[in-house]
Structure 1
Amino acid sequence: MLKIIQHKIFLLACGTLISFSTFAQQNLKLTYNRPAENWNEALPIGNGKLGAMVFGGAAQEHLQLNEETIWAGEPGNNVPKNTFDSIQKVRRLINEGQFEKAQDLTNTTYPRTAPKDLNYGMPYQTMGDLFLDFKGHENFKNYIRTLDIEKAISTVSYQVNGVTFKREIFSSFADNVIMIKLSSSNKGSLNFTLNASTPHKINSIFTEKNQLVISGTSGSVDNKIGKINFKTVTIPVLKGGKLTSTKDQLNISGADEVVIYVSIATNFKKYNDLSGNPDARVSEYLKSALNKKYDAELKAHIEKYQKYFKRVNLDFGTSKQAQKTTDVRIKEFGNSQDPDLVALYFQFGRYLLISSSQQGTQPANLQGIWNYQLNPSWDSKYTVNINTEMNYWPAENTNLSEMHEPLFDMIQDLSITGQESAKEMYHARGWNMHHNTDLWRITGIVDGGFYGMWPMGGAWLTQHVWNHYLYTGDKEFLKKNYEALKGCALFYLDVLQQDPSKKYLVVSPSMSPENKYFKNVSITAGTTMDNQLVFDVFNNFINASKILNQDQNLSNEVKNALSKLPPMQIGQHAQLQEWLTDMDKTDDKHRHISHLYGLFPSGQISPFRNPDLTEAAKNSMIYRGDKSTGWSMGWKVNWWARLLDGNRAFKLISDQLTPAPMENKGQSGGTYPNLLDAHPPFQIDGNFGCTSGIAEMLLQSYDGYIYILPALPDALPNGSVKGLKARGGFEIDMDWKNSKLTKLIVKSTLGGNARIRVAKDIHLKSKTNFASAKGENTNEYYQINPIKKPLVSEKAHLKTIAVPETQVFDFKTEKNGTYQFTSY
């Protein structure tokens, strides 16, 4: 029985003000008492386009610099010619059960090393490094280095011979420059040199007109010639003192204060257009920034950044650990009480997304925008069998929808370039891509047949289009991206094959990403993840077609194919099957658990609607284990949250917040001293995955309702969060104490029915009429796509999973209305 107190008054955002508990003033800073000794200790700054890692040395400040479009190579796709016949032969071999032969033919057709006429994608590359050398600063004391993620500024402060030296460094969101302000407590104390380096073979470093200039060209890899031309200009502006120059170095002496402007530009305009003028662009960026006083530039930077960052406030409480430096807190997290570090880690993920993905920029790649190498691990490109998607999991639920836009722009590009791979490789309409892409929007096989024969990249990426619509209700956005959704559905409509039993339509050939079921055999048909992805692709198109009143005949054709997809299956070990046949091994510890896509992010599996599938998914999780690579543990946080096990989700966060090894190899996960995620080496997806997972522990909005505190761990019994987003345009604020909800505020930007699920023992009162929910949610953004009844192995022993006792209630909302509930 839902216990409620009702009043017939609702509160409008523009009317009565609602008081919400005052949030604790959090220390939103990463803090250190020594300079960075290596890249994994340096601190990241970025404005979406320009990134830097700040080392903070006293005798030498080192900024490793990135610009988002400095990639190796040149325009062009990587689609192989004349391989359709081989794909047809692989399909026949799979149907005949000759899996080893199918894998051999796949490997021959798509070898592990790229053929001379192809490439497997281009690497994202560093620009180079800027150095500030301070003579006599080797002996320093009272050192402190910070990254203020509330203001997006890195600072350094220390003393030499009684003089205090300070630096402020930020990548300006207001203008496309990196700015460094140097000051000291004594006038005339700033004496240093500015010099630079770049690892690019084609480069020139020189000074002109009191500017330090680097020009260069990106690298050539495989069959592609490096054609990104870049230019970096560094300009110091002095207050007092003297500026002189040598051939390739600037010298500052006796200055009171120095502000340094760094701008980088390239000739890149679009994946197929390199007609930009880096000289003109750099001049334009610098002119705009130099026309402003430093304080005005800093203020504009902070205001633009905080427009996004301050939308969400998270407080888990604090402890004495918060007074320690960040590296020490990471080392001690597993054996201490430090709830504030969890909140800091969550907000750091939001900081990274804002800093690496702004409107009009490239999407965040495997390392966001931070990379110090010419040939980084996995090329630091876009791996779309999990990693790129994970980068954007926090975009909607942590109130950063605008940060999603670069990914949508890339999907628009891929829906064009992907027509080549669909047509050439599969003789199919529409578009597709495989498991990697880059700046040039390649869509062919990458890394050979064993890893790359996975034609599902577009299927997963387009889920972000539909998800954004569900959160925002933006029909103009849906219209703009409709053809991408349609083209994706067309591709699978054409490539689906009848399986040998002739019962189902399946994707063939494909794989369950990067895993294998026999020794050295990954190639197969009808994997569970593929079936789940196609299920979503088809439903997204059907629903979009209905909303926009387009392509009814095609929609009916897609509905027919949808009805022939395989159901999910529970195998002999009571696990969710990964493959079409029951081949899972209980000792398989592979980092990819791709068949749980249906649990998260998709939401096809629900504890309340599908308890057997939920139990099977949980069993699969238990078999695989917890410890893994950083991104894998990040995904597991989200899965355990969807399994409503907050304590297990928190354990994964604790596993992730352990010091990562400094060696750049292995699959141990963990976190570097600068809070960046380790595979190792560094990959940014683990940061984003954990940020999403923490949000999922507090709020879930799928399966027809908004679930408040669905997976709150015992370690976080008291707290507040403000500004999380739910599907249907709802914004949620809440307080909890002793693990129970005490206050809830729901803001509705779109109106419509709000359906809320909370713990059964919560008694709510409100001035809003609300009542126990009946039937399906009438809100259009919470409609359920029904799944088929799963097939269950006769050998499976299901124990019946326990779900929490909850209550579900509805209330009507008006556009821009605000509704408050308190417990009693």
Structure 2
Amino acid sequence: MTVLDHDGPATQWLHALPLGNGRLGAMCWGGSPARFDLNHEGVWSGSPASEGAWAAPSDEEARELLAQAREAATSGRGLEATEPLQALQLPYAQAFVPLATLEVATPDSGAGRRSLDLRTGTHTWTDARGRARTVVSAVDDVLLHVVDGAAQQTPADPVVVWLTSPLRELRRQEDPEGLEVWLRAPSDVAPGHEPRLPAVTWGPVAVEACVVVRWRRLRSRHGDRLVVALAVETTYRGPGADLAGTAADVAGRARDRVARVLAQEPDDVIRRHRAEHTALVDRCGVALGDAHLPGPSRTIEERLTAARADPRRVLEVDPGLAGALLDHARYLLLSSSRSCRLPANLQGLWNAEMQPPWSSSYTLNINTEMNYWPAEVLALPETVRPLEDLVVALASSGRTTADRLGAAGWAAHHNSDAWAFTSSVGAGHGDPSWAFWPLGGLWLARHLVERVRFGSVDDDHARTVVWPVLRGAAEFALSWLVRLPDGRRGTAPSTSPENTFVDTGGRTVAVTCSSAMDRALVRDVLRSVVEVAPRIGPDAAKLADRAAGALLNLPAVLVTADGRVQEWGRDEVESDPHHRHVSHLYPLFPGDEPLSDTELGAMAATLDRRGDDSSGWSLAWKIALWARLHRPDRVSDLLDLVFRDATGVQGQWAGGLYRNLFAAHPPFQVDGNLGYAAALAECLLQSHRGPIELLPALPAELACGSAHGLVARPGVLVDLEWSDGELVRAVLRPRSPAQVGRTVHVRWQGREVARRLTDAATELGPGDFGTTT
């Protein structure tokens, strides 16, 4: 398992290394003073009342505005739909903001090394005086910092700890062994793309937080020992819930946690954290490169530098880096999304800015969903629970948004936040290409359905949690469909997320009828209803019948005259042929729409026209798409872009890696890391078509390797070993007793075999597929 090592302390935020337990995040700088930039999942601007506080059109006015936009779109006058759609906009969703910075001073010994062990979730700083270990424990919900060696010059010297915050300080209490600070978040933070509005607004109704820091000195076999414990409580109670009083009301819980931890042997606290973290990490792993050769002894940073300097591709020089980055992605997902109330946001759980890029919130037209693409296949299903909780809250708040649009069910546009915001944003001047897109709920519903497909939840969960969300999304989709001028059913007004086309007059237009993305999402949610309904019971049959009927008159993929996927309602000329979004390819990935050879060819032609280079998350999506097309050669091209140095790349949308392996949008967005892991998994294992397909898109650079604990639908654990690009063996095991006795089909190199799962492992080799290696 990967360890990230760096010489010397971090000199900027993008050099620091992340810790997190889903609730509390810390960016660790190392050195002396030891610095930790802190975030907490519940520290957002705004309140549950934020969305409702904006002035908005009445329901009657909103429906009239929508009717105007619909008439313009269906008449081929998409530009005229802009003004009524902008009149529907609220200003913006709220922002995820920093909590505080903790600094712990110890004598400076000069040079040192910092490391992050991804397997144990432990940050270590080592220098001539000793070592300092830091964990953010999910078991105890504390940050624990243990300094072994000469913690202070003399026992009589005071411990020097600072806690500073960009939030409003309500109260500070200090004594020789600790401090406690009460803070209040802003009542409003405007996104950076609204420079005319106040950046930060402070008011009495906002999240409050209590930060408790206590320390003590001990004597151990390592010499002097300093133990610092930090806990945070906030008044945030989850999406859709009211705030829980004030900092004074929640402070006791933080004090109690710190007191319990300091009453224990610190090594026991660290061991407990490591055991819990390691058990989750060890479920799944991928090792790449020739196992018979000695592994690289250099640090990841040194290996990247050497591989980038070589004229060959990075992974051709050092294929093990691909596995290291996958380890890192699983670590980031586990650290930002478990045992918590909110899912990973645009920056996971780590943000340093009061006005962060895109508010560090939830962007529902790709980024939030991409964060969770690796969760099931890479064996971290519990990380999806916070996403599920947010989706359930959106399904509730989104009923108001759907009703305002004259539709049934629930709807969410492309921006959301900790308060389950679902309205269209843009402050009355946002381009509809990104501001109007009420189909976010349909995409989110897919993630809950995938939990069923992977066997992560049982039928009771499917009935009580998944089905209500899916039913509401399908009800919206069915009521959103209209009869188009050509007689077919479709959506109007419609956009293709964040992209535009040029009309015959040379004008840039965003609004059309029935974009490819709209059709794909509507078909996806209706197909999911048909699939899941039999698990639910007779009450679901009526909706399933409606869904099946609507699918008959809703085309899946339209192909242009030159053989590409038609992105808008008509064959239009893109404003930017190389646009980073590839939403119109959703049926290929993450969707699972059955596609003809012609349609698959159109997908490939579209990717060719879009080009390779793009933002970090777009690179990940394209890798997954090429993997689904069984094109390892194109996967190789994109992987090389993923591993380049982000600080040396020019261009607004040019991905790569920062020094701490955070992926660049740019700037940093965690979706690039998490999407990469999912895309690499698609190269090794696919199961969306029914059969479990082994090594479907293995790049030449990764010709040797192994994987354990991958998860295939419908709940099968898969171990793989391959050499020289050929399968050596595959081992299949049922993920749960529910899968025992099920017959699964397994495919490799176009050959397919059937096996009945038993309690014992099922092993397959090349001979089982009629070949030898």
Paired amino acid for 1:96 = S
1:215-234 superposed matches below 5 A: 215-221=182-188, 225=203, 226-234=205-213
Q: Distance in 1 between matches of 2:590 and 2:202?
A: 36
- The structure whose residues are more often helix, as a share, is 2
Contact 1:47 1:173 (C-alpha < 8 Å) held by counterparts: yes
Could you say what the CA RMSD is over the residues aligned between the two structures, in angstroms? 2.2
Contact 1:189 1:255 (C-alpha < 8 Å) held by counterparts: no
1:196-215 superposed matches below 5 A: 196-208=163-175, 210-215=177-182
Q: CA deviation at 1:543?
A: 2.2
Matched with 2:193 is none
Contact 2:150 2:223 (C-alpha < 8 Å) held by counterparts: no
Matched with 1:511 is 495
1:254-403 superposed matches below 5 A: 256-271=224-239, 272-275=241-244, 277-317=249-289, 322-334=296-308, 335=310, 336=314, 337-403=317-383
Cα distance per residue 1:191-211 (max 9 Å; x no partner) = 652112101134444413621
Higher relative contact order (CA 8 A, sep 6+): 1
Contact 2:21 2:339 (C-alpha < 8 Å) held by counterparts: no
Structure 1 range deviating more: 330-339 or 725-734: 330-339
Q: CA deviation at 1:289?
A: 2.1
Q: CA deviation at 1:477?
A: 1.7
Q: CA deviation at 1:497?
A: 1.0
Matched with 2:743 is 753
Q: Distance in 1 between matches of 2:86 and 2:354?
A: 28
Distance 1:495 1:739, change over 3 A: same
Q: Distance in 1 between matches of 2:340 and 2:532?
A: 25
Matched with 2:7 is 33
Secondary structure of 2:647's partner? coil
Matched with 2:486 is 501
Secondary structure of 2:641's partner? helix
1:248-647 superposed matches below 5 A: 256-271=224-239, 272-275=241-244, 277-317=249-289, 322-334=296-308, 335=310, 336=314, 337-424=317-404, 426-447=405-426, 448-450=430-432, 451-472=434-455, 474-480=458-464, 481-502=466-487, 504-518=488-502, 519-549=507-537, 550-585=539-574, 588-606=577-595, 610-647=596-633
Identity %: 30
Secondary structure of 2:473's partner? helix
Structure 1 range deviating more: 302-311 or 433-442: 302-311
Q: CA deviation at 1:45?
A: 0.3
Query: Of 51, 54, 57, which aligns to 1:81?
Result: 57
* Pair 1:811-2:755 in alignment: yes
Q: CA deviation at 1:97?
A: 1.1
* Pair 1:122-2:122 in alignment: no
Query: Of 707, 711, 727, which aligns to 2:693?
Result: 707
Q: Distance in 2 between matches of 1:266 and 1:274?
A: 9
Secondary structure of 2:646's partner? coil
Query: Of 93, 115, 118, which aligns to 1:146?
Result: 115
Paired amino acid for 1:146 = S
1:94-113 superposed matches below 5 A: 94-110=73-89
Structure 1 range deviating more: 443-452 or 636-645: 443-452
Distance 1:419 1:224, change over 3 A: farther
Cα distance per residue 1:6-48 (max 9 Å; x no partner) = xxxxxxxxxxxxxxxxxxxx5x101111211100010000011
Q: CA deviation at 1:76?
A: 2.7
Cα distance per residue 1:151-180 (max 9 Å; x no partner) = 000111112xxxx32110110121110011
Q: CA deviation at 1:331?
A: 3.3
Contact 2:343 2:387 (C-alpha < 8 Å) held by counterparts: yes
Q: CA deviation at 1:638?
A: 0.8
* Pair 1:677-2:663 in alignment: yes
Q: CA deviation at 1:239?
A: 1.2
Secondary structure of 2:509's partner? coil
Matched with 2:44 is 71
Matched with 1:93 is 72
Distance 1:186 1:599, change over 3 A: closer
Query: Of 671, 678, 684, which aligns to 1:692?
Result: 678
Distance 1:390 1:414, change over 3 A: same
Q: Distance in 2 between matches of 1:306 and 1:105?
A: 53
Q: How many residues align?
A: 719
Distance 1:734 1:320, change over 3 A: closer
* Pair 1:54-2:28 in alignment: yes
Structure 1 range deviating more: 409-418 or 270-279: 270-279
Cα distance per residue 1:593-639 (max 9 Å; x no partner) = 10111110112155xxx221111111111111111111111111111
Matched with 1:181 is 146
Contact 2:22 2:349 (C-alpha < 8 Å) held by counterparts: yes
Matched with 1:15 is none
Paired amino acid for 1:144 = R
Contact 1:577 1:584 (C-alpha < 8 Å) held by counterparts: no
Cα distance per residue 1:753-808 (max 9 Å; x no partner) = 1101102xxxxxxxxxxxxxxxxxxxxxxxxxxxxxxxxxxxxxxxxxxxxxx101
Cα distance per residue 1:666-709 (max 9 Å; x no partner) = 21111101011111111000000000011111000111211000
Cα distance per residue 1:415-462 (max 9 Å; x no partner) = 1001010112x1122101000110000110123352211011000000
Structure 1: gaps (5+ residues): 1-25, 111-117, 242-253, 760-805
Contact 2:88 2:424 (C-alpha < 8 Å) held by counterparts: no
Q: Distance in 1 between matches of 2:500 and 2:403?
A: 28
Contact 1:571 1:577 (C-alpha < 8 Å) held by counterparts: yes
Secondary structure of 1:702's partner? coil
Q: Distance in 1 between matches of 2:131 and 2:651?
A: 36
TM-score normalised by length of structure 2: 0.89
TM-score normalised by length of structure 1: 0.84
Q: CA deviation at 1:292?
A: 2.5
Q: Distance in 2 between matches of 1:585 and 1:331?
A: 38
Paired amino acid for 2:397 = T
Distance 1:488 1:560, change over 3 A: same
Contact 2:319 2:701 (C-alpha < 8 Å) held by counterparts: yes
Q: Distance in 1 between matches of 2:724 and 2:648?
A: 39
Q: CA deviation at 1:108?
A: 4.1
Cα distance per residue 1:275-333 (max 9 Å; x no partner) = 25321221232233234321211111111112211001211136788333333333343
Q: Distance in 1 between matches of 2:118 and 2:151?
A: 29
Q: Distance in 2 between matches of 1:734 and 1:568?
A: 34
Q: CA deviation at 1:96?
A: 1.2
